[in-house]
Amino acid sequence: MRTKSRYSTKNRCRLWPLTIQGFWVIILLTNELPPQINTRILLVDDEIIVLDLLKSAMVELGHDFETALDGEEAKARLKQSEFTLVLTDLTMPRCDGMELLKHIKEEYPLIEVIVITGHAELHGYTDVIRAGASDFITKPFGIDELEAKINRVIREQTLIRKLEHLSMCDMLTELYNRRYFELKLQEEIPRAHRQGYPVFLALIDVDRFKTYNDQYGHQTGDRLLHEIGKIFMHYTREKVDWCFRFGGDEFAIIIPYATVDQASQIADRIQERYRQEPRYAPTSLSIGLAKFLRHPGFSWAEDIADLVARADKALYAGKAQGGNLAIADSSMSYPE
C-alpha cells in the first residue's frame, strides 16, 4: 500500500493546561477567545438615537456589529450573518424584544442575548432571564456598564466553548476522544454522501502493549501513547484527517477527501515511522483500513456501524497474523 504524497502536520486537539485543584481558576484567567469564536454583535432598537449611541459604543469597544430597527429586521439579519451576541430593545413595532428573544433561543440557541429597555415595569429582570436572556440593561446606561455586561457574557460563552472542547479531548495524547469520534462519524458520513467524496476509517491497535507496560511501567507506557499521538499528527493531513484515541491502546483515524492510495499511504507511513524507533520494541502497530459504503435500506447508524465493523475485522485479521500489519478491507478494492 504505497503512493507518494505529502502531508501537513500538527492536526491536534488543542488543550488548555489544567489541574484538578485549579480547574476553575485557570480557565477563568484565560481570557482569550478560541479561534472559532468571532465576536460579532447585532444591535436591535427602533430608536435611532439609542441605536446611534450603541453603534458608537461598539466602535469604541472594538466590536464588529450590524444593526436592525425591529425584531423582523433582526430575524433577517440572523439568517444572513453569524453573531455571537444580540443587544435588543424590548418595546418595538412588528416584533418586540420578547418575541425576538424567544425566536433566537429556539432557532439560534448558541447566540447570547442582552435585553435593553426603558420600560422595566413592563418586563422585569426575572421575566427576561427566564425567557433566555443572558443579562438585562435599563435605559439610560453608561458605556462602562455596557462593556462590563458584554465582556461577562463573552467570557462565559468562551468558558462554555472551552469546556465543550475539553470534553472532546484525550488529555494524555492530545487526540480527540471516543465520544467525539462517534459524533464526528455521524457528522462526516452523511455530508460525504451528499457531497460525493470518499471517507476511509483506520483503526489502530498497539501490539503487545501490556507486555511493554509490564516491562517498563505505566508511566513509560503513557509516554509511548503520547508519542503515538504525535506520530499520527505528523503523518495525517492538517484540518482534513481526524485522529482519536478510543482508550487504552486503541486509536482511530477518519480520512476524508482521499483516494484508496492516499488512505493506504497514511497507514503505511505511520507504521513505517513506528518501526524505525527501537525504543518502542517489543510493540508494533496493527492497522485495519476500510472505506465507507452506502447500503440501500440501511440507516446512517447502520452504515456507520458497518464501516467500523469492517475496519475492526481487518485490524484483527492483521493481529491474528502476529500484528505489525496494515490490512485493507475488501471495500478498498472497489472502483472509485
User: Which band of pLDDT confidence, cut at 50, 70 and 90, is reported for residue 36?
Assistant: very low
Instruction: For Cα atoms 198, 300, 309, give the angle at the middle one, nearest 5 degrees.
Output: 75
> Cα–Cα distance between 259 and 198 in angstroms, integer?
7
Record the pTM. Answer: 0.61
Say which residue, 6 or 188, is predicted with more confidence.
Answer: 188
Among 46, 205, 249, 329, the active-site one is 249
* pLDDT at residue 21, as a whole number: 38
* pLDDT at residue 264, as a whole number: 95
Q: For the packed helices 97-107 and 71-80, what is the interaxial angle rounded to 10 degrees?
A: 20
- In this model, does residue 26 exceed pLDDT 50? no
* pLDDT at residue 13, as a whole number: 64
Contact 296, 283 (CB under 8 A): no
Residue 114's H or E segment, with its range, is: strand 112-117
> Cα–Cα distance between 111 and 205 in angstroms, integer?
41
Determine the average pLDDT of the residues in 269-281.
95
* 34: CB partners within 8 A, 6+ apart: 14, 158, 161, 162, 165
> Cα–Cα distance between 88 and 100 in angstroms, integer?
8
* pLDDT at residue 254, as a whole number: 98
* pLDDT at residue 141, as a whole number: 86
- In this model, does residue 33 exceed pLDDT 70? no
Determine the average pLDDT of the residues in 20-25.
40
Q: Is 249 a catalytic residue?
A: yes
Lowest mean pLDDT among 90-94, 182-186, 303-307, 322-326: 90-94
* 129: CB partners within 8 A, 6+ apart: 136
- In this model, does residue 268 exceed pLDDT 50? yes
> Cα–Cα distance between 174 and 58 in angstroms, integer?
37
Q: What pLDDT, in 10s, does the model give residues 187-241?
A: 899 989 989 999 999 999 999 999 999 999 999 999 999 999 999 999 999 989 9
Contact 209, 299 (CB under 8 A): no
Q: Where are the domains of the chain?
A: 31-166, 176-333
Q: What is the CATH number of domain 176-333?
A: 3.30.70.270
> Cα–Cα distance between 42 and 84 in angstroms, integer?
8
- In this model, does residue 271 exceed pLDDT 60? yes
Most confidently predicted of 94-98, 154-158, 312-316: 312-316
DSSP string, 258-297: --HHHHHHHHHHHHHHHHT-GGGTT-EEEEEEEE----TT
* 198: CB partners within 8 A, 6+ apart: 192, 256, 257, 258, 259, 291, 292, 336
Determine the average pLDDT of the residues in 299-327.
95
* pLDDT at residue 31, as a whole number: 40
Q: What pLDDT, in 10s, does the model give residues 52-63?
A: 999 999 999 999
Residue 74's H or E segment, with its range, is: helix 71-80
Determine the average pLDDT of the residues in 151-157.
88
User: Which band of pLDDT confidence, cut at 50, 70 and 90, is reported for residue 335?
Assistant: low
Domain 31-166, CATH number (from 3.30.2350.10, 1.10.565.10, 3.40.50.2300, 3.40.50.1110): 3.40.50.2300
- In this model, does residue 182 exceed pLDDT 90? yes
Determine the average pLDDT of the residues in 126-150.
88
Q: What pLDDT, in 10s, does the model give residues 78-130?
A: 999 889 999 999 888 888 888 999 999 888 888 999 998 876 666 667 778 88
Residue 170, classed as helix, strand or coil, is coil
* pLDDT at residue 332, as a whole number: 78
- In this model, does residue 29 exceed pLDDT 60? no
User: How far is the CA of 273 from the CAs of 226, 235, 276, 278, 279, in angstroms?
Assistant: 15, 9, 5, 11, 12
- In this model, does residue 292 exceed pLDDT 50? yes
* pLDDT at residue 166, as a whole number: 76
Q: What average pLDDT is seen over the chain? A: 85
Bridge partners, residue 245, by sequence: 177, 251
